[in-house]
Chains A and B, each alone.
Chain A
Amino acid sequence: MSTASVHHISKSFGSVQAVNDVSFKVEPGEIFGMLGPNGAGKTTTIRILLDIFRPDSGTVDVFGGLMNEEKKNRIGYLPEDRGLYKDLKLEKVLLYLASLKGLNDKEAKKRLYPALEQFDLYEHRLLKVQELSKGMQQKAQLIATMLHDPDLIILDEPFSGLDPVNTRKVKALLEEKRSAGKSIIMSTHQMNQVEALCNRIILIHKGKGMLYGRVREIKEHYSGNTVLVEGSGDFSKIPGIVQTKQENGKIHLTISPDLDPQYLLHHLVNQPGAEITHFQIESLSLDEIFIKVVQEEAPEHV
């Protein structure tokens, strides 16, 4: 059973179509990336998933059915526009938010102190939130999101405001949650984090799902047209090579779509006078794929 299934949801606000026929599934034990430019409809999609907004059409299943109050306690959400009660002590705020997620005081305290220690906030627990740095507040919000050990974790830009050390801690925590079978939806612009963490992604642009599938498969899908070769020889006359570009002693060969890279490798190796020291099928980074898809604007399911 999928943790969350979104089926053809659409939502408009007045004349603005915020989400247009978006579908995806999130499975247990995976980190699912939600990508898209600013204003693409990611936050609206998340809010529909969380039952904050009702879709104009389409359906959302969470934990095998419609959202209800009980299921809300199994979800942890870190919104993009986030904050804490500034005039309250950190510990009090976190205990209150945990109580709203169904944790009693005793259990919440039992879980809270190790979490605070993990993020170096234990010493600051009795300070008012407004006395904490932005990074500390960000860490506190992550604790608030996960203290009740949710089965579905939705994080909107979880790394913003974090230094490299804490970024690493958060990544480790997310991987730990994934290993424990939790589902994580992560909306971010940091493509390197998506590549490093996400199993699958959806790319939303102008409210539409433009790209959906496994990160590895997507990258494979958008690769194969360019081959990187190091060595010597004349490669321009090989049939199927469209373009040859030399850069820093490396040769980038753009090949026609019907040319198999394995055949090319065989041909290069057997070419008289040629010496091949390195052969690699070049793949696009997610950044490049993102830009490419957004510019082409044609939905694709990988």
Chain B
Amino acid sequence: MSNIFLVARHEYTRRSQTRSFLFATVGLPLIMGVAIIAIIFVMASVTHPEIGVVDHGHFINPALLNKPQKSLIPQTEYLLFEDLSSGKAALETEEISILIELPLSYPSLEPVSLYSRDGTLSQEAKTEILSFFRTQLAQSLPEAERQRILTGWNITIRSLDGSRSFSQNETVSTIILPYVIGFFFFLSIIMSSSYLLQAVAEEKENRTMEVIITSLQPFEFIMGKSLGLLALALTQLIIWIGFLAGLLFALNSSGAITSKIALDGSQIGILAAFFLPSFALAAGIMIAIGSSVTEIQQGQQIAAIVNLFFIAPWMTSGLAFSNPNSPLMIGMTLFPTTSMLTIALRWTTIIIPAWQIILSFVFLCLSALFSIWISSKVFQLGMLLYGNRLPLRKVTRTLFANRIKTKKVVP
């Protein structure tokens, strides 16, 4: 069996059985899910007004009154009454909370009477009654006009140069989802690279490094660890995305959200293409840190500072929404550690020019290769320095010296 696979399997099974991983992967989404379900139940338990209608002129189409229940959240129920006295009696016995009396001449301009038990009308009830009249009045219109009246407007604002557009109904499908998925990708990179830092530093702390590297090559060791931890992060990511999809599906089915959910394949594809080199870049940095330090805690402190370079787009997200074409945003798009998240953020408001994405990808790939190269050198230097920090000066000196000595390799 390949040594890389053995190390990857060991790393994956070892970390995936830890309490912290199980809690972060399954526990957190479960807690969030329970919280969301609780909110839906609370919403469902809120009593909606039951409205009575007295229609003297028989204008109302009973078929349009009560639509089939599609949502977990209860809808307003309408009851038709033959005369005003039976309607008022129902209001008094709290069978209904509002009574509408349509005059014989309706829809003429003769006033419509509204009765409520306490003489007040909530905003929710006003909206509901408005929707009731709109539905009933539009029933005789042609389908297209009827839909326009019933669904209201759908505004799409476009910039003059066509680079920005914002559609009211596309909020979830084209704006939030790429951002959320980009964020999930980013999160998995940060998480797996942080696991990697821990894994390398732990090998040093446990003093298992020397035995391991006499069994396999440093490359196999690092590759196995990286792949195992990447698989771990992807497992987490898949579970989270699965949970998110399930939640969106449940919310959609329950009627809690009404927007269509569709993914933009090209944007997701580009984010996926950025994923591996971003991971390699972060992994290289974390391996180098893990190999240089004496304790995990020390490594985590350095990693926290390095992580700022990765989460900088998150901290400047306000600018990404308000001024996505600012020089800072373009710079962060091109800068390897910030490119992926910045692109995801800017996509929420603009179409990013192709040259920026291509250049950003090239920079990212080059820096990822450089990061891996440096990390392999630092790993070789630092792996056996138990209890000693690897000084930066030694790293630079060795890297320089190696370049000179490469022609003198002993057979």
Contact = CB atoms under 8 A, between A and B. Distances in A.
A86 interface: yes
A100 B217 contact: no
Interface string B1-15: 101001100100010
B410 interface: yes
B327 interface: no
Given A85-B208, A88-B14, A72 B410 contact: no
Given A83-B208, A86-B206, A100-B6, A75 B217 contact: no
Contacts of B207: 79, 81-83
A47 B7 CA distance: 22
Contacts, number: 62
B93 interface: no
A59 interface: yes
Interface stretch (A18-26, A49-57, A275-283): A49-57
A83 B216 contact: no
B298 to A, nearest CB: 18
A101 interface: yes
A81 B217 CA distance: 19
A96 interface: yes
B386 A81 contact: yes
A82 B208 CA distance: 6
Interface string B212-232: 111111000000000000000
A76 to B, nearest CB: 9
Interface string A178-205: 0000000000000000000000000000
Interface string A32-69: 00000000000000010010101111110000000001
A95 B276 CA distance: 32
B411 interface: yes
A52 B384 CA distance: 10
B399 to A, nearest CB: 14
A99 B1 contact: yes
Contact of A100 (B202, B216, B410): B216
A84 interface: yes
Contacts of B211: 77, 79, 82, 97, 144
A72 B6 CA distance: 16
Contacts of A77: 210-211, 214
Contacts of B262: none
Contact of A82 (B6, B14, B210): B210
Nearest to A60: B410
- Which of A57, A82, A83 has most chain B Cβ within 10 Å? A83
Contacts of A85: 14, 202, 206, 208
A81 B3 contact: no
Contacts of A144: 211
Interface residues of A, number: 29
A16 B6 CA distance: 38
Interface string B185-211: 000000000000000001000111011
A82 B206 CA distance: 8
B46 interface: no
A75 B208 contact: no
- Which of B1, B3, B10 has most chain A Cβ within 10 Å? B10
B392 interface: no
B216 A96 contact: no
A223 to B, nearest CB: 38
Given A84-B208, A99-B1, A99-B6, A75 B409 contact: no
Contacts of A96: 6, 10
A89 B210 CA distance: 20
Contacts of A69: 216-217
Interface string B281-301: 000000000000000000000
Nearest to B220: A69
Interface in A117-174: 144
Interface string B249-277: 00000000000000000000000000000
B206 A84 contact: yes
A60 to B, nearest CB: 10
- Which of B6, B211, B212 has most chain A Cβ within 10 Å? B211
B206 A50 contact: no
A53 to B, nearest CB: 9
Nearest to A55: B410
Contacts of B215: 72-73, 97, 100-101
A100 B384 CA distance: 19
Nearest to B383: A52
Nearest to B13: A92
B210 A52 contact: yes
A93 B215 CA distance: 14
A77 B1 CA distance: 21
Nearest to A144: B211
B210 A79 contact: yes
Interface in B115-164: none
B198 to A, nearest CB: 11
Contacts of A52: 210, 213-214, 384
B411 A59 contact: yes
A260 B294 CA distance: 60
Contact of B216 (A55, A72, A79, A82): A72
- Which of B384, B386, B410 has most chain A Cβ within 10 Å? B410
Nearest to B17: A88
B264 to A, nearest CB: 43
A101 B211 CA distance: 10
29 contacts: A52-B210, A52-B213, A54-B409, A54-B410, A69-B217, A72-B215, A72-B216, A75-B214, A77-B210, A77-B211, A79-B207, A79-B210, A81-B207, A81-B210, A81-B386, A82-B207, A82-B210, A83-B206, A83-B207, A84-B206, A85-B208, A88-B14, A96-B6, A96-B10, A99-B1, A100-B212, A100-B216, A101-B215, A144-B211
Interface of A: 47, 50, 52, 54-59, 69, 72-73, 75, 77, 79, 81-86, 88, 96-97, 99-101, 104, 144
Interface of B: 1, 3, 6-7, 10, 14, 202, 206-208, 210-217, 384, 386, 409-411
List the 5 closest pairs (A to B, CB-CB), nearest first. Answer: A83-B207, A100-B215, A79-B210, A83-B206, A77-B214
